[in-house]
Amino acid sequence: MPQDSGAEDSRLGFLQNPERWFRMMKERNTCLHVYDENEANELVVLIRNRFLPAFTQLETTLQENNQRSH
């Protein structure tokens, strides 16, 4: 997701916290080279506690927008 796209999605109300989405992209790029078990465990916690709720919120927002458009 390019930063311009994230800013536009935020302006349109799709993303509640675009900085979180940019961090997800950064972590995705760096996690490809995580070989240490402690770092991997930290990444799991980050995904579960920070990133998964962002996807849940996006799903809710998209469903609400879809219902309004019908």
pLDDT in tens, 31-66: 888 899 999 999 999 999 999 999 999 899 889 888
Average pLDDT over residues 24-31: 87
Closest C-alpha among 2, 11, 20, 15 to residue 59: 15
Residue 20: name the closest of 65, 57, 69 by CA: 57
Query: Which position has the higher pLDDT, 8 or 44?
Result: 44
Q: What is the pLDDT of residue 6?
A: 52
| Contact of 39 with 27, CB cutoff 8 Å | no
Provide the whole-model pTM.
0.65
Distance CA 56, CA 23 (A): 16
pLDDT above 90 for 14 = no
